[in-house]
Every structure is written in C-alpha cells, then in structure tokens.
Structure 1
Amino acid sequence: MSVTIRQIAVKAGVSRGTVDRVLNDRPGVKPHVREKVMAIAEELNYVPNAAAKALAFSKKPLHVGIIMPPREIEFFQEIRDGIEEAADELKGFGIQLEYCYVSNQNPEEGAAVIRKLVKDGVNGIMFSVMDDDLIRLSINQAVDSGVPVITFNSDVEQSKRICFVGQNLPQSGRIAAGLMARVLRSPSKVLVVAGHLSIYAHRARVKGFGDHLSGSGIDIVQVIEGYDRFEDTYEKLKEALTRYPEIEGIYMATGHIGACMDVVKGMNRPNRYRIIANDLMPEVEQGMREGLIDFTIVQNPAQQGYRSLRMLYELILNGKMPEQQYYYTETSIVIPESL
C-alpha cells in the first residue's frame, strides 16, 4: 500500500500542509522540521503520486530551460523540431520551454545562463553547447541544487549531468575513417575540418577519425577549426589546400560545408578531392548531387531533441532515472545514389 502525506504528517507530528510544503520544496518550513519530514518520508519509502504531480504541473507548467548554439546554425533546427514534437505531446500535462541561445566560443556566457535558469526556478535543463570547466562547474551546481541536466548532441563529460542523448561520436569518426580508407590508397594525405574543438561532439569525431587511421598510411596533415562560420572555414581551408597540394581527402567532421564546397570548386587540380561529410543539410545534399561529396554520416537530430525532453519530463514527473549514461541515436551512411 502506498504511503500518504497524512501518514507522514502523523508520524512527524506536523500538519499535512507542512508535509506538502516540504515534499514540494516550498518555503515556510523551519530547517529542523524539514529534515525530520524528509527523514520520515524516506523511512516510509514515500513515492509521489504521478497523477497529482501532473495535475499540479497543468496548473503551474513544468519549466524546462534549453541551452543550445545560435539559431543561425541550421543543423539545430531539426533538433528543435524534435523538442517541439515532444512538447506538443506533453502540453496537456503542462510544460513551458525556454530556449537560450549562447555562443560556442564563450563558456562564461553558457555558465551564466545555467546559473540564471536555476535562479529563475526551472525544473530541468537540456544543454548542448561546449565542454568547459566553467560549464562543468555550473552543471554540477545545478544538479546539486536539485535541477537535473541532460546533455544532447554534444556531451559535457565528467560532469554530474544525468545522461547524454545523441550520436556515438567517436564511432562516427571511426566510420568516416573507414570510408576514407576505402576511397584512398595508402600512402595518402587528408585534411580535417571541425567547427570548435572546445565542443565535445566535434573533438570526439576528430579523435575517432585519427585513431582509426593510425598506422593505415593515410596521414592527417592538419585539423582546421572554422568556428561554424563561412569566412573562417573558407580562408583556412583554401590556405591549407594551397599549402599542401598533396592532400587527396577532406573529412568535414563539422563546420560550414558551403564554404568547403566553394573552396573545392575553385581549386585547379586534375583529380577531385574525396570528401566525407556529416549530416544531410541542403548544402551537403547539393554537394553529393554535384559529385563533390562521396559520403555523409547522419545522426537523426530530431530524435535527439525528442528523446531528451521526454526523458527529462519522466525524471521530473515520475522520478524515473535514466537507466544508462549514454543513449545513442541511430547512425547511418548516405551515398549520392540513395538521394
């Protein structure tokens, strides 16, 4: 038989209203009384009533903060679509989303947004920006204060985040390396383009790619950071390809694919570069149709957004802790002939 608030109140010698305030973490209760009520609730194995919680959230919506890179990064629109799909399914239970867009180059900004959301009383946070000690500290402080954090698309390792939802990123890099080894002969030289190596997703792909190619005779000449900006990617890639004419392959681990296509089209060389990309944005699809991109590795971004919000909601509403640290979405390979 489930334990009731009345039973806890009787054993603690306080009113049911006091127990309700303690269990719902509301003010107005003396510290020693709060500790006593919590100890008795734990002793009796009290489990909150999910229906009652859902009713409460329908009156005062569950508030979820979503921290992600700037809106102009087109890839994240698919993740937002997945989040909105989950939110639409949960709207009858009460849910309020607060999107916060922060720079990929400013950890202070990301850390400050986490602290502000906690101060504003959010019930949970979804996070997908950079991996940095300041970010890690803010996530740990949020979780310690009772605000669960789930990372999606890119992880913050060695933090107290509840779990990560996204692609198996080192594996994605290894897949790219395996594909590159199938289209280039040894010995060969390749170039890697990433957005921000301060972001775990970008760094993990690059590492997986390099580790898998180690000893294969296919050498990485340079790793470029383009910061997801057209101008930076274009200038750095053009300079590298001019400096190293022996380069035969390009791995676009992340970064501005449109800039890569423009540079490649402008290079005067008899044999085309072998290019492996990530995701299936319009520029990638166009590059494949034009015969410039050999393969692209896709990761189901909509599912990352959808699953993260559903898991966070279940945790807050029902106390259902995710059973795993990592929830990987499907990774697949697209070739031009499959378009």
Structure 2
Amino acid sequence: MGVTLKQIAEIAGVSRGTVDRALHGRGRVNPETAKLILNIANELGYRPNRMGRALALTRKSIHIGVIVQSYGTPFMNLVIEGIQKASAELHDVGAVILTEFLESVNPQNTIAAMDRLIDKGAQALALTAVDDDNLREHINFLSEDKNIPIITFNSDILGTKRLCYVGQNSFQSGQTCAYLMSLALRGTGKVFPLTGHLTNVSHQQRFLGFSNVCEQNSGIELLPLQCCFDQDHYAYELTMHALQEYPDLSGIFVTANGQSGACQALIDAKKKSQICLIAYDLTPQNCKLLQDGHIDILIGQGALLQGYQPPILLYNYLINGTKLEQEFLYTDIVIKTKYNL
C-alpha cells in the first residue's frame, strides 16, 4: 500500500492540506515546514500518484526547462537542490527537467538559453530573471505567440505575461533588515549597503525596502550603494574602502552574495566588534560565519522551495491546466541569529 498524505501529515505534525501544498507547490508554506515534509515524504518513498495517472491519460512526455543564473554561488547551490528534488519526482512519472546553468546575469545569455531549451523540446520554462527590456519582450513573445508558460523564481521581472513569481517579497525583507539594523544601532549610525547586481530585481527591492525605512529614521545615514557582482573579492575591496573612508561606520547591509568578503574585511580591519552586519541566505558558509559572530543576522528566503516549486507548478499547469491562485508565491522572511540557527 502506498504512502498517504495523511500518514505524512501525522508524522510531520501538520494538516493534510499543508502536506498537499508543500508536495505539489500550491500556496504558501513555511520553508522549514516544507523541508521537513519533503524529507519525510522522501524517506517514506512517497510518489505523487495523481501526477502519474495524469501522465498516463495524456500519453505525452513533458519537458520543462529551468534556467539558473549566478550558477556556482552558495545560495544557488541550495536552489539547485530544490530543482533536483522536483526532477526526481517528475522523472518517476516520465517527465524531464532540462537545465541551463549561467554563471552571469547577462539577459542576452538568458534569452539564448530560453531558445536552446525550447529547441530541445521544453514546453514550459522557469527562470531567474533580470530587469531588461529585451528579456521582457522575449518572455512576452514566448508566452503569447508560442504559448510557452513561464514562471520566474528568486528574481522577478515585471511587465510580462509570466504565470507567477516564486520567491521572497524582497521589498518587505529589506524593510525588515532596516528595522533590525535600527534596533541594533539604537536608531543612529552610518550604514554601508552592498549589493550583487543592479539589474537583479530582488537585489534592487531589498535595497529599496531598506532605504525606505532608513528615510523614516533620521538617525540612520545610508551611504551610497556599492555593487560587488556576487564576488567576494570585490566585496572585500569595497568594504575595506568604506571602512577607511568612514571610520565611524556602524553597520553593513549585504543584499546578495559577497558576505564572506565583507566579513573578511571586518576581520582584517579589526572592526567586527564595532559594526553590525546583516546579510542574506542560510548557506553552510554563512551559517558558520553567523555562529562565529562575524555575521549578526542572517535572512533566509526558502532556497529549496524556490527551486522545487516552479517545475512542479509548471507540470501541473501543463497536465491538468491547474490555474495558479496567486501571481506572487512568496516564501517566508526567515530571521536567524547564532542563538536560533
């Protein structure tokens, strides 16, 4: 007898509906709860029979293309784990995930990858996007003229016909970070903001949310935004320069990859005890920096779900015509310190 959703729910201590949403990418589920449910389902050998029956009825092979930018960064490695989880489930019912890994965030490379995947037979696409008019136009062309359903994850692109976005509400998470920074600095001090890519909408929105709260707090002085292109060596150089130019610096806000470089600069300058550092992503490397006291607060954004949900959603859309209830499927804003990691 196969494993049931009720059995998984009893073991996880949640409702059957929560299990259903976590396994099939529907609605909003706490990232930690979803991870627990996925692990239990995997250990018990759960297989999504409903999807298997649907595939048997259609008698056609489904191919879903997934494009991952910033390939090789610690955070994207976690996202890829989610993609692999979805791939294993879909493989069991005869569906295939085709992947393209891009090291850069160049929109032309993304467009080329989209076309390559379609040439290979992809009937739907999931991608991490950047804010670019050519990419926006191509998404709309594929969605409207070629009837290719598209989902964005991790970083969105507005003004398109994509089905939905899976990822964090970056503006709200930026606001949350600014509030936490203000508490840590007791409402006064200079803060150095460091981002990854100016064309990445998530990076943009985190900074805009952060600056929105800082504008309401006259005691917090937000220094000019600097871009490290997700590279630790650039983050190190930019942070060292900021430390030299602003000896009274009180805080550092890192919106993207580059956390290790910023931390190393604080260590080399012997400034860590004087400066609060808030950064993103619960990667093993960042968690170690948090435990060691080099990062004060880490913000998690549900990396596993960001990789897992889009292929599952697209599969359900292709097979069952399942309409998405929401345009924005936000993952939780997870706040971690070394005391609750």
Q: Which residue number in structure 2 is paired with residue 82 of structure 1?
A: 82
CA–CA distance in structure 2, aligned partners of residues 92 and 255 of structure 1: 34
Which residue of structure 1 aligns with residue 193 of structure 2? 192
Q: Paired residue for 1:329?
A: 331
Instruction: Find out whether 1:207 has 2:201 as its counterpart.
Output: no
Letter of the aligned partner of 1:76 in structure 2? M
Identity of aligned pairs, percent?
30
Unaligned runs of at least 5 residues, structure 1: 1-49
- Of stretches 247-256 and 232-241 in structure 1, the one that deviates more from structure 2 is 232-241
Structure 2 length as normaliser, TM-score? Answer: 0.80
Distance 1:229 1:269 in 2: 21
Taking structure 1 as reference, are residues 119 and 246 closer, same or farther at Cα in structure 2, changes over 3 Å only? same
Asked if structure 2 preserves the Cα contact closer than 8 Å seen for 1:130 and 1:156, the reply is yes
Shift of 1:221: 0.8
How many angstroms apart in 2 are the aligned matches of 1:266 and 1:202? 27
* Gaps in structure 2 of 5+ consecutive residues: 1-50
Residue in structure 2 matched with residue 218 of structure 1 by the alignment: 220
Whole-Å separation in 1 of the counterparts to 2:329 and 2:298: 22
Pair 1:228 & 2:230 matched: yes
Q: Which 10-residue stretch deviates more, 97-106 or 229-238?
A: 97-106
Counterpart AA for 1:328: Y
How far is the alpha carbon of 1:86 from its aligned partner?
2.1
Report the residue type matching 2:190 in the other structure.
K
Query: Which residue of structure 2 aligns with residue 138 of structure 1?
Result: 138
Deviations, residues 170-217 of structure 1 (Å, cap 9, x unaligned): 111011011001010343110111110210111111111110111302
Q: Aligned residue for 1:45?
A: none
Match of 1:91 in 2: 91
State the match for 2:100 in structure 1.
Answer: 100
Mark the CA change 1:247 to 1:310 in structure 2 (over 3 Å): closer, same or farther.
Answer: same
> Aligned partners of 1:63, 1:132: CA distance in 2, in Å?
26
Asked whether the 8 Å contact 1:104–1:129 carries over to 2, the reply is no
Q: Deviations over 1:33-85 (max 9, x none)?
A: xxxxxxxxxxxxxxxxx988612766x53111111114311211221211222
- Aligned equivalents of 2:152, 2:271: Cα separation in 1: 43
Deviates more, 1:121-130 or 1:190-199: 121-130
> What secondary structure does 2:250 align onto?
strand
Larger deviation, residues 301-310 vs 82-91 = 82-91
Give matches, 1:2-41, under 5 Å. Answer: none
Tell me, yes or no, if the aligned pair for 2:70 and 2:105 is still in contact at 8 Å: no
SS in 2 for 1:222: coil
- CA distance in 2: counterparts of 1:66 and 1:286, whole angstroms: 30
Contact 2:127 2:151 in 1 (8 A): yes
Mapped partners of 1:87, 1:51: distance in 2: 14
Secondary structure, aligned partner of 1:94:
coil
Q: 1:27: which partner in 2?
A: none
Structure 1 residue 129: deviation in Å?
3.6
The separation in 1 between residues aligned to 2:291 and 2:325, in whole angstroms, is 42
Aligned-partner residue type, residue 157 of structure 1: L
Q: Distance in 2 between matches of 1:103 and 1:75?
A: 13
Call closer, same or farther: CA 1:242–1:92 in 2, change over 3 Å: same
C-alpha separation in 2, matches of 1:140 and 1:177: 35
Given the alignment of the two structures, is residue 312 of structure 1 paired with residue 310 of structure 2, yes or no?
A: no
* Post-superposition offset of 1:288: 1.7
Q: Distance in 2 between matches of 1:52 and 1:288?
A: 46
Q: CA RMSD in A?
A: 1.9
- Tell me how far 1:309 sits from its aligned partner: 1.4
Q: What's the offset of the Cα at 1:267?
A: 1.1
Residues 51 and 307 of structure 1: CA distance in aligned 2, closer, same or farther (over 3 Å) = closer
From the superposition, tell whether residues 265 and 318 of structure 1 become closer, same or farther in structure 2 (CA, over 3 Å). Answer: same
Judge conservation of contact 1:250–1:274 (CA < 8 Å) in 2.
yes
The DSSP-based 3-state class of the residue aligned with 1:191 is strand
Q: Aligned letter for 1:202?
A: H
TM-score normalised to structure 1 length: 0.80
| Distance in 1 of aligned mates of 2:320 and 2:334 | 33
Partner of 2:123: 123
TM superposition shift of 1:219: 1.5
CA contact (8 A) 1:152 1:308 kept: yes
Q: Tell me the number of residue pairs that the alignment of Structure 1 and Structure 2 aligns.
A: 289
Q: Partners of 1:241 and 1:258 in 2: how far apart?
A: 16
CA distance in 1, matches of 2:58, 2:158: 31
Amino acid at match of 1:260: A
* Cα distance in 1 between the residues matched to 2:122 and 2:313: 16
